[in-house]
Amino acid sequence: MSTIECLLHPHHISLVDTHSLRAKLKHAGDAYYNVDGLPSHRGVLAPKFDVFELDGGTTGWLLVGDLPGVESTDEIKIEWLDASTIFLRGKLATASIPTFGETESRVMKTVHKERHEGLFERSVTLPAKADANGTKVEVKAGVVFVRIPKQA
């Protein structure tokens, strides 16, 4: 897979059995499924997501991910790559530093930085087709909830 193609693929979670012969043939030579350490993914946060299967009234899935600093669903772009693969992306910005009551502005030099600032991307391949139009997103205290119904 070329470098330009790697740039187009986000960090990925697959709920499909990737050890099956069919899956191995489908993704043979596709670095997309082995993204750790690829130069094209450096500097892009792959937020951690838990994936739950929903039963009962509406069957489907619930994705729960940590995105500190995200306060609104407007800050998250969602695309469907196919009927079972959802792609989430956006940009994180660090909070502005308080002045602590001082009126004089100060120039600060970064000594050490651990918090991510910049792009985030994550995709998830679900084990069955989803109802893309029924997808709902909520954000609470930097935690993103994506509810995805199964296709009827």
In terms of Cβ atoms closer than 10 Å to its own Cβ (0-12, 13-18, 19+), residue 89 is middle
Report the pLDDT value the prediction gives residue 109, as an integer from 0 to 100: 80
Q: Does residue 6 fall inside a structural domain?
A: no
Q: Does residue 1 fall inside a structural domain?
A: no
Q: Would you state the torsion angle of the CA atoms of residues 73, 113, 50, 83, taken in this order, to the nearest 10 degrees?
A: 60
- Number of domains into which the chain is organized: 1
Report the pLDDT value the prediction gives residue 101, as an integer from 0 to 100: 72
Q: Does residue 7 fall inside a structural domain?
A: no
- β-pairing, 60-66 vs 76-82, is unpaired
pLDDT in tens, the chain (152 residues): 333 444 455 466 666 655 566 655 655 555 444 444 444 555 778 888 999 999 877 799 999 999 988 889 999 999 999 999 999 999 887 777 777 777 666 777 878 877 778 888 999 999 999 999 999 999 999 899 999 999 98
What is the value of pTM for the model shown?
A: 0.69
Report the pLDDT value the prediction gives residue 3, as an integer from 0 to 100: 39
Q: Does residue 16 fall inside a structural domain?
A: yes
Domain at 19, CATH number = 2.60.40.790
Q: Does residue 58 fall inside a structural domain?
A: yes
Amino acid identity of residue 23, one-letter, is A
- The answer to whether 130 and 151 have CB atoms below 8 angstroms apart is yes
